[in-house]
Amino acid sequence: MANLKEEYTKHIQDTAPDMDKLWSRISEEIDKKETEKKTETTYTQNREQIKRSGGYMKIAAVAAAFVVVFAGVNIMNESKKTKAAMDKVPLSRSDRDDNKTSGGNKKDGSVNNKAQQDASTEDNHFGSTDGSFIRTVKYDQLDLNATDTVSYMTSYVPQGDEYFVEDKVFASTDLFADVTVLEAELSDNGATYVLQVNSMYDKNGEVMVTELVINSSTPYILQKNREYLLPLKHSDEDNYSIVFENAPQIEITLDGGAVFQNGWKALCSGSEDLEKDSLNINDYYFDRMKYTPELDMESFLNEWNNA
């Protein structure tokens, strides 16, 4: 029995594992697993960071491209607007001639500048539907006789209609008289005009009259020494009155032109806009005035006869 016990104890000792080596191997495996886990975690984090960075970079690139395109479109639009505005600036005849020979520069090498041109009697501007120029003429630079007559009387109440209608005025007119004002005597409620008759026409032709005296309460005073074309009607057998008093009368310039309010459609063909100061707060026609450089009396009288 003693020998058997010794042999069993020896067998157990011989076959028992080396615990130091076993724990060493277990420790190595644990360290290896932890290292692999850390490596995998770092790789995953780096990958996610790269993904996010890549996304941000793509977004930033798209945004930058959009800004560039938007800026380019704005620049192109502004360029088109500038070109269109420059195309609308009218050139004087000398400017157009210079452009033909020097590509937009003057013969002395300087560049044309519209703002530096001297102010003249007329200004050109766009306004017609076909894109052509409309000329604006300044009233105070027209060829007119000097006068010292008051131009507007606020206290005068015009007789007749308030609104001008050409056909109605034509129908009410017995004569048109081309007259020069010799005297203008103004009272509180109206004026008495002594008129030299240059020519007078009824629907049968010219009427031989040399002088007229008429009374009128038109607030637009006929100026002494100035010439007018007046629509007249018989107030009685020997007296005449102005058909429409609530507007300026047709004024004839010394060089054969005429100033008129735009209700006279028979005179509007070939006419130009007129720049004229307001005579009074009640002057509703100062910005409705027109000018024709040549009063075609025959054509105008034909319009009247056919109305």
Residue 67 reports pLDDT greater than 50: no
Give the tens place of pLDDT for each residue, 23-60. 566 666 666 665 655 555 554 554 555 345 444 444 44
* The pTM of the whole model exceeds 0.85: no
Q: How many CB atoms lie within 10 A of CB 98?
A: 19
3-state secondary structure of 286: coil
Q: What is the mean predicted confidence (pLDDT) over 151-174?
A: 96
Q: What is the mean predicted confidence (pLDDT) over 84-99?
A: 42
Q: Judge contact between 217 and 157, C-beta under 8 A.
A: yes
Share of the chain above pLDDT 90, in %: 54
Give the tens place of pLDDT for each residue, 184-219. 999 999 999 999 999 999 999 999 999 999 999 999
Q: What is the mean predicted confidence (pLDDT) over 110-129?
A: 43
Rg of the chain over Cα atoms, rounded to whole angstroms, equals 49
Strands, E assignment, 166-210: 175-186, 191-202, 205-206
Task: Classify burial at 28, counting beta carbons within 10 Å of its beta carbon; exposed 0-12, middle 13-18, buried 19 or more.
Answer: exposed
Residue 248's pLDDT is 98
**Beta strands 133-138; 272-275: pairing state:** parallel
Residue 114 reports pLDDT greater than 70: no
Question: Poorest-confidence range of 16-20, 157-161, 162-166?
Answer: 16-20
Spatial neighbors of 84 by CB under 8 A, at least 6 apart, are none
CA distance linking residue 175 with residue 87, whole number of Å: 48
Q: What is the mean predicted confidence (pLDDT) over 223-246?
A: 94
DSSP state, residue 155: T
Average pLDDT, the chain: 75
Residue 282 reports pLDDT greater than 70: yes
Residue 240's pLDDT is 95
Question: What is the dihedral angle through the alpha carbons of 30, 36, 37, 38, rounded to the nearest 10 degrees?
Answer: 110
Q: Judge contact between 238 and 225, C-beta under 8 A.
A: no
Residue 232's pLDDT is 98
- Of 103, 115, 85, 246, nearest in space to 168 by CA: 246
Element of type H or E holding 125: strand 122-126
Q: What is the mean predicted confidence (pLDDT) over 13-21?
A: 58
CA distance linking residue 102 with residue 112, whole number of Å: 11
Residue 35's pLDDT is 61
Report how far apart, in Å, the C-alpha atoms of 220 and of each of 8, 54, 85 are. Answer: 149, 82, 40
- Of 251, 244, 264, nearest in space to 158 by CA: 244
Q: What is the mean predicted confidence (pLDDT) over 283-300?
A: 97
Residue 170's pLDDT is 98
Task: Classify burial at 267, counting beta carbons within 10 Å of its beta carbon; exposed 0-12, middle 13-18, buried 19 or more.
Answer: buried
Give the tens place of pLDDT for each residue, 125-152. 444 444 445 678 999 999 999 999 999 9
Question: Poorest-confidence range of 58-67, 76-85, 170-179?
Answer: 58-67
Q: Confidence band (pLDDT; 50, 70, 90) for 104? A: very low
152 against 1, higher pLDDT: 152
Distance separating the N- and C-terminal Cα atoms of the chain: 160
What is the residue whose two structure tokens read 């009396």? 297
What one-character-per-residue DSSP string does 221-265 give? PPPTT-EEEEEEEESSSS-EEES--SSPPEEE-TTS-EEEETT-G
Residue 136's pLDDT is 85
What is the residue whose two structure tokens read 């027109």? 290
Residue 216's pLDDT is 97
